[in-house]
Structure 1
Amino acid sequence: MATDLAPVSRIADLVTTFRPAKLFKAPPNTAYTSIDFDDSGEFMLCSRTDDTMQLFNTKAGAHAKELKSQKYGSALARFTHHSTSIIYASTKQDDGIRYLSMHDNSFIRYFRGHTGRVTSLSVSPGGDQFLSAAMDNTVKLWDTRSPNPQGQLDLESPYLTAYDPSASVIAVASPPAQALFLYDLKNYDKPPFASFDLLATEKIYAALFGQRPGEGWTAIEFSNNGKFILIATNGPGHYLIDAFSGELVHYLHRPNANPNTNNNNSASSPLRLAPGDPLPPASSYLQADTVLTPDGRYIIGGSGSPSVPGLLVWDAHEKASGKDKVLRPVAELPCTRSAAVVAYNPRFNLVASAEREAVLWVPDGDL
């Protein structure tokens, strides 16, 4: 299943040629809510709404294992840097984080301390540390080798977190405050060295496209070159901002997204919820349905509408149209399945997307 393009191929030559290559069906009335790849790129881990995590072998293009967590529930499953170990957030009984060995399906450690639903898990690119944010208005810093938090930030609604590529800066987003804060990891107990207020920016796109200010943020992500921060939403567009100045670089418009159904709790779209949204029964929140490519140039994401399946591609090097910095997609990648979560595998130049089913995408050499 994996391609041999990774060492030699430029992403610019491949990004518009991705096509679905493998489909993994799921039981009725379930949906995938997160995707992650291990460091080797060989394995993909997905959280699902039936309190399971599904492990796939991307090289073989095959399902590898089902990990059940019926007692505690599961969300935001992430690989650690140890290939057979993962962390995930509980959704039942408590608000703990569990460290699981997939080799024998046994718990290595519990990380307790949150008193509200965990909304974000970010594994450090540089070691055994990770961040968690929760609806108890805290962000906790952890080390997988200890059950106790190594530090804590107290913020209003800090629903989203991310490490920069150097693992020296952490970003925390508060969607209700419409703000993004950057901290020096070595001095996290000091005030943020930068804070970006997106209120004025969001008002522009609320007027243009019905983007709800301060709501529907699903994730934040640094580009691998450290230049950009992507603020993904479940509405009609995403924000790509300068990681140093906080100025808007592009508004990534999704032409088919409907702001009235993609970022609220309506029955027509029960699974496209942001981490801070109230959850109806048998529903779950999503990580982003967008991802930055490893070169920092392209953004691949879902259409934002279940009725319009497939993926969109934006080119950050393109000049945005007009003073409002609206960037239109440069390509549409066709598929019969909609995408609510998306991830990029840089080791093998694979894209994964999922909602009701999981799909692996590979470049089509004939295009």
Structure 2
Amino acid sequence: MKITDSVLRSFRVARTYRENAQKINCVDFSPNGEHAISSSDDDCIVLYDIREGKPERTMFSKKYGVDLIHYTHGDAQTVVYSSNKLDDTIRYMSLTDNKFIRYFPGHTARVIALSMSPVDDTFISGSLDETIRIWDLRAPNCQGLTNPLGKPVCSFDPDGLIFAAGVESQAIKLYDLRAFDKGPFASFDTRFNRVCDWTGLKFSNDGKQILISTNGGVIRVLNAFNGSVLHTFSGYNNSKGISLEACFTPDSQFVMIGSEDGRVHVWSTESGMKVAVLDGKHPGPINTLQFNPRYMTFASACTNMTFWLPCTDDT
């Protein structure tokens, strides 16, 4: 099924789960789309079976807390996540036996961005210590470090050759992974009219666009090659300055974000028009939202985890 305006408008809540006592801070789908995982401020890691449509099991990270959880490249059995309690070490964990495989120490302040390479075992992390570190899952030591001159959110492009850093909520810097020590090969300033912090940065799957999430009720889509502003989207509720995570649909044609009032807003990246507002019946702000990379479903989360399906004549 192709993702279209009408298909997006047809999405309805399929299932809602109340496994968590506090807000879910991150959701990720496995590369094959058959599982999802969430991290929460109550130190829980919940694994969901997408085909069965139910929670599979819950694990805990009570000592370190858990945030920014991501599946590793091509593997639905291992994850990497940052800590939000005791220290700023990143942890690599096996889901099959709930044991740590490796630790990645080095950051001296909270990790605010974590991005897995789409092609190999590399990943990058951005921290309030104003560094971006490059890691390899097979080695505990940092493989590289760059100082972007400010607080960075960062992400890989879909080819895993370039990463982008959004620095101090005012500039995008592009780095070649193979020559990152030479500094960025391109830099674009893009200041927002309203005062807000950039809280996330993502490439579209076609590599042509960059999406900036903020805590200020506005998101922006940029041309990934020259930094020009393609769209600025607003009109969703975020009066309390919450970090609301936006995402692209897998075909790069739409951008989605949750809101403070539990609704999901969807815009076309081609026309710039809003195409849908979906009511998820969330009791709190939708902090995080992700579209499944393989199947026609997406997840939105506050303290509850909600999975959505299109309601068409064929279903």
TM-score, normalization by structure 1 = 0.81
Q: Equivalent residue of 1:330, what SS?
A: strand
1:69 alignment partner in structure 2:
61
Count residues with an aligned counterpart: 310
Check whether the contact 2:280–2:306 (CA below 8 A) recurs between aligned residues. Answer: no
Determine if contact 1:352/1:361 at 8 Å carries over to the other structure: yes
Distance in structure 2 (CA, Å) of the matches to 1:113 and 1:48: 23
Q: CA deviation at 1:227?
A: 1.1
Mapped contact 1:139–1:158 kept (Cα < 8 A): no
Asked if 1:238 corresponds to 2:219, the answer is yes
Pick one of 98, 107, 110 that aligns with 2:103. 110
Q: Which amino acid aligns with 1:26?
A: E
Taking only aligned residues, the RMSD between alpha carbons, in angstroms, comes to 1.5
Tell me how far apart the structure 2 counterparts of residues 79 and 256 of structure 1 sit (CA, whole Å): 29
Structure having the higher strand fraction is 2
One of 8, 18, 39 as aligned partner of 1:15: 8
Q: Is the counterpart of residue 262 in structure 1 residue 215 in structure 2?
A: no
- Cα offsets for 1:82-137 (capped at 9, x unmatched): 22111111222221001111111111100011111111110000011100111111
Gaps of 5+ in 1: 1-8, 207-211, 264-271, 274-287, 319-326
1:55 is matched with 47
Write the distance in 2 (CA, Å) between the matches of 1:163 and 1:88.
Answer: 16
CA–CA separation in structure 2 for the residues paired with 1:115 and 1:32: 24
AA matched with 2:286: A
- Residue 156 of structure 2, aligned match among 163, 188, 191: 163
Determine whether 1:42 maps to 2:22.
Answer: no
Question: Does the Cα contact within 8 Å between 2:29 and 2:37 map onto a contact in 1?
Answer: yes
Separation in 1, partners of 2:237, 2:221 = 18
Displacement, 1:156? 2.7
Matches within 5 A, 1:1-367: 9-12=1-4, 14-28=7-21, 30-81=22-73, 82-176=75-169, 178-199=170-191, 202-203=192-193, 206=194, 212=195, 215-253=196-234, 255-258=235-238, 261-263=239-241, 272-273=242-243, 288-302=244-258, 304-305=259-260, 308-318=261-271, 327-337=272-282, 338-366=285-313
Q: In 2, distance between residues paired with 1:121 and 1:147?
A: 16
On the 8 A contact 2:163/2:175 being kept in 1, the answer is yes
Aligned mates of 1:362, 1:10 — CA distance in 2: 13
Q: Secondary structure at the match of 1:245?
A: coil
How many Å separate the matches in 2 of 1:46 and 1:110?
20
Give percent identity, aligned residues only: 35
SS at match of 2:178: helix
Contact 1:74/1:88 (8 A) holds in 2: yes
CA shift for structure 1 position 67 = 1.3
